Amino acid sequence: MDYGMIGKIEKAKRYAQERKRITFNNLDAQFRGDHNNYQMLLNAEGWNCTCPGYQAHGICPHVMAMERLLRPMLKREPLPYAVGQNVVSDVEKAKRYSEETDRIQFASFDVTFDGENSAHHTSYHDGAWDCDCSFFHSRHVCSHTMAMERILGSMITAAAPVAANGR
Ligand SMILES: [Zn+2]
Ligand SMILES: [Zn+2]
């Protein structure tokens, strides 16, 4: 029995419930809107979305949906409503979009994990994981990557752990 792995799976379950531990530093995601696909970015400077609404107002239902979905993990104030924005319609859309998670595909993201012992950096890029914890170093999977898989589900492309026990 792989007790080390069993412990990490238990920890991942717990972490997925304790989302305040997680902070999104950046993300790059595709968003399938009602009419078009858009690219959403988050980095230290803030959000960006390629949709016309965002380009005009600096806020849009796609970003608002992400703010709902990732709520305790963003650690930043929601974008303020803008003059000229159709707030009623955008709030309604954001609510609906945040329940239709098949619209969202993450291409990459980087999170900081406030773990039980120390902070860790976990990232995902085009199906590949990375984490700076020692368990990941030897096993290519860890409680942090597994917690993110639980949280984001089908919003990330399931990546098979690379040679978890083959060496
Ligand atoms: Zn948008
Ligand atoms: Zn890790």
Nearest to 100 by CA among 48, 154, 60: 154
Q: What is the CB neighbour count within 10 angstroms for residue 147? A: 27
Q: Point out the ligand nearest to the CA of residue 121.
A: 2
Tokens found for residue 73? 């993990």
Would you write out the chain's pLDDT as a tens digit for each of its 167 residues? 788 899 999 999 999 999 999 999 999 999 999 889 999 999 999 999 999 999 999 999 999 999 999 999 999 999 999 999 999 999 999 999 999 999 999 999 999 999 888 999 999 999 999 999 999 999 999 999 999 999 999 999 865 555 444 43
Q: Residue 52 belongs to what domain range? A: 27-105
Domain presence at residue 94 = yes
Phi, psi of 22 (to 5 degrees): -105, 135
Domain presence at residue 46 = yes
How far, in Å, is the centroid of ligand 1 from the Cα of 48?
A: 8
Domain presence at residue 88 = yes
Looking at the DSSP bridge assignments, the partners of residue 22 are 113
Domain presence at residue 78 = yes
Looking at the DSSP bridge assignments, the partners of residue 131 are 122
Domain presence at residue 51 = yes
Nearest to 11 by CA among 167, 166, 136, 159: 136
Domain presence at residue 74 = yes
Contact 145, 136 (CB under 8 A): yes
**15-21 contacts: CB < 8 A, separation 24 or more?**
15/113, 15/115, 15/143, 15/144, 15/147, 16/147, 16/150, 16/151, 19/72, 19/73, 19/151, 20/72, 20/73, 20/114, 21/113, 21/114, 21/115
How far, in Å, is the centroid of ligand 1 from the Cα of 129?
A: 27
Domain count, the chain: 1
Q: What residues pack around ion ligand 2 (CB closer than 5 A)?
A: 120, 131, 133, 136, 142, 144
**What pLDDT, in 10s, does the model give residues 103-118?**
999 999 999 999 888 9
Nearest to 12 by CA among 155, 125, 136, 159: 136
Domain presence at residue 113 = no
Q: Alpha helices, DSSP H only, in the chain?
A: 3-17, 52-57, 61-69, 71-74, 87-99, 134-139, 143-152
pTM, to two decimals: 0.90
